[in-house]
Amino acid sequence: MSGVGRLAGKVALITGAGRGIGLAATKRFLAEGAKVVLADIDLSAAQKDAELLKEQYKDSVTFIRGDVAKEKDVKASCQLPLEKWGKLDVALLNAGVSHLLQPWLTTDESVLDRILAVNVKGPWLGMKHSAAAMIASPHKGKGCSIVLTSSVASLYGHPAFSAYVASKWAVRGLGLAGAQEFARHGIRVNTVQPGATDTRVFWDAAPGGMQDKVAMGALNVMGRLADPGEVASVMLFLASDEASFMTGSTVAVHAGATPT
């Protein structure tokens, strides 16, 4: 299925594509005509979906296992679109992890190390190698788009979530710096700030007393969690040529959540 759609003719890389927002974005990108490389450290959770996508989209979808905190894995993921389809147009650097809400004074250093490795080093490496792959493509980067997944936590603080908040503010900064550095190549860089979304990353942060989805929905004015597809729709827009005059933007998808 190619030749029609908002991403027709585009080649995309999506990290953290094995579940949640990344998997939802993969489905949207493919449906809109893109060829997509799915990258994740664990694709087992998406095995059933992967088989269905492969059956439906044939050679327009391929998979690679990799750790976004390891440069050799990131480089391999970013080079695969060039090797398979001759170019890279879109990189959705979505992979991320969270941690259980816990007081700053009792948070172990290992928690911070893991969060920064995946959530900050990951997109830093992803931007480095995806931009290089875009510039090495026949279009030399012109018309390309990098989309980063930050968080509503990058718009304000959150108690008992210090490591995660720090990492997502950093992602926002990476997006702003990348927009300035890669504009001369024609590469746009924008950042999405999802609010409370029904994903494993979100629920991994919730202690036992917060497992009630109705209660969690009170975090925003719409009184519910986002479906991953709702966030993926915004990512699709930023990846497409419809957002051709957007770079350095931070786009909140948080149902009116504001700091208190």
What does the alpha-carbon distance between residue 121 and residue 170 come to, in Å, rounded to a whole number? 10
Residue of 63, 85, 164, 182 marked active site:
164
What does the alpha-carbon distance between residue 96 and residue 116 come to, in Å, rounded to a whole number? 10
The tokens for 174 are 């990476």
Q: How far does CA 238 lie from the centroid of its chain?
A: 12
Q: Measuring CA to CA, which residue among 31, 160, 137 is closest to residue 82?
A: 137
Q: Is 127 helix (H, G, I), strand (E, B) or coil?
A: helix
Cβ-proximal residues to 141 (8 Å cutoff; 6+ apart), any chain:
131, 134, 135, 182, 185, 186, 187
Residue 156 is among the residues annotated as catalytic for this protein: no
What does the alpha-carbon distance between residue 93 and residue 107 come to, in Å, rounded to a whole number? 27
Q: How far does CA 108 lie from the centroid of its chain?
A: 26
Residues known to be catalytic:
164
